[in-house]
Amino acid sequence: MFSCNHVFILLFLYRYLRLVVNLLAFCLHQPIQPPDDPQLTSNDVTVVIPSLQGDGDELLETIRSILATEPSQIILVTIEAQEARAQLLAKELSSARLKVYSVAQPNKRRQMVRAIPEIRTKITIFADDDVTWPSTLLPWMLAPLEDERYGGVGTNQRLRRAEDPSWQQRVWGYLGALYLERRNFDCASCMFVDGGIPCLSGRTVAYRTSILLDKEFTEQFTNEEWLGQYQLNADDDNFITRWLISHGQKISYQHHKQAEVFTTLEDNPKFLKQCLRWSRSNWRSNITSLFCDRHIWKNQPWSTYAVYLTTVSHWALLWDCLLVYFYLDMAQSWQKENQSVGLAVLASWMFLSKFLKLLGHYIQHPVDFLLLPVSILFGYFHGLIKGYAMISLNVTAWGSREGADDDDAYRMTRLSSKHQEAFESRSAVCYTQ
């Protein structure tokens, strides 16, 4: 039988071992440096931008920042209803490098697949329509791909903060900035330990074009099944990351200032809907990685513990309450003075753990340290978002972008009973191997 001492120690180690190791790994992580005489240059790059609106100031800024890096070609893929507007935007930019295509329905996977046959370069970069690239980005993204073993490369991401924000925008923007900072920390740390990464974010990500042109990839990418009941057309970046891992391709994450992409997040209550969408995506993808694909258990054991399993096991308020409960039970036989000192040490460590991985943000924006209590409370509240996401995984709605949900039903469609039976048969074979 486990005593309270044993339970407390096990809970404490399970929760905080990853923080301590990841802090050390983050400090030691070094990105792959661009070579002096690279085999891959910007002429080997095609950038694909799936876009819903097809125009607008934000997209215009995105394309201009990408054009400044001088890729071979930029392919803008919008929907048929917005193609005329996209063509006008292309005409305004007057660049021979920019081509416009369209698909019937607003679906990112279909938009990406529409562009792939038009690509003639060795490297393809997918970028969202609300990112801003530094002029130094491409050499850093191409550096890992000099090694043929690498199939995909992700980037560091920061929030493009609002100019002269209201206090509400400042608070929501602060939470969004911490989301990206936390992601940067986890990716860089896990990359150092075992080369793992939970997801090569589609905000800006590079792949070898040969991987995307594989007929088997295209077939699986456009016909992914979720739990044998649905065809999933969302979560494109999660699918490709899992594909690379399952097919023995190494992935890289370039955590460096010159490989830092700026993006936008909602700076209003719609941010909660973004969190809900991200949480659903994490549940779907990580469950698939952990219990269906299962390659990560062998290939990325640390990342499995430090990132993937947190989807299932990390509930901040519950963990904190359990730690305090078992500590108090363990310390009953101690002198009161020692109990108080021990509780103060535990509380101090729990407090420090809430922001240690976010120091990079607070160093850049020290005034945001005043909002730390908001971050801690939101961390507890996020458990409710995560719980609701867990029981609504068949929902793929954005809820935070105009027009994004016009064809939401197409993102996840129920399969026929025949397809479900075939999935169950394949699953049975998989789990007996």
Q: Token digits for 58?
A: 């934000």
Q: What is the DSSP letter of 49?
A: E
Q: Token digits for 180?
A: 């990206």
Predicted local confidence at residue 429, as pLDDT: 41
58 in Cβ contact with 286 (< 8 Å): no
Predicted local confidence at residue 422, as pLDDT: 54
Residue 261's beta-bridge partner residues?
Answer: 157
Predicted local confidence at residue 430, as pLDDT: 46
**Nearest-CA neighbor of 176 among 267, 257, 259?**
267
One pLDDT digit (tens) per residue for the chain, 433 residues: 667 788 999 999 999 999 999 999 999 999 999 999 999 999 999 999 999 989 999 999 999 999 999 999 999 999 999 999 999 999 999 999 999 999 998 889 999 999 999 999 999 999 999 999 999 999 999 999 999 999 999 999 999 988 889 999 999 999 999 999 999 999 999 999 999 998 999 999 999 999 999 999 999 999 998 877 788 888 999 999 999 999 999 999 999 999 999 999 999 999 999 999 999 999 999 999 999 999 999 999 999 999 999 998 889 999 999 999 999 999 888 888 999 999 999 999 999 999 999 999 999 999 999 999 999 999 999 999 999 999 999 888 766 556 555 665 666 677 766 555 555 555 444 444 4
What DSSP line would sit under 352-406, residue for residue?
Answer: HHTTGGGHHHHHH-GGGGGGHHHHHHHHHHHHHHHHHHHTTTT-----SSTTTTT
Predicted local confidence at residue 431, as pLDDT: 43
Residue type, 117: P
Predicted local confidence at residue 417, as pLDDT: 60
Q: State the DSSP H helix or E strand holding residue 423, giving kind and residue range, or none if neither.
A: helix 417-432
Distance of CA 148 to the CA centre of its chain: 24
Where are the alpha helices (H) located in 263-365, listed in sequence order?
Answer: 270-287, 296-299, 301-303, 310-313, 316-330, 336-353, 359-364
Order of strands, sheet of 225-226, starting from the edge strand that comes earlier in the sequence: 225-226, 230-232, 412-414
Predicted local confidence at residue 152, as pLDDT: 98
**Nearest-CA neighbor of 239 among 188, 288, 206, 204?**
288
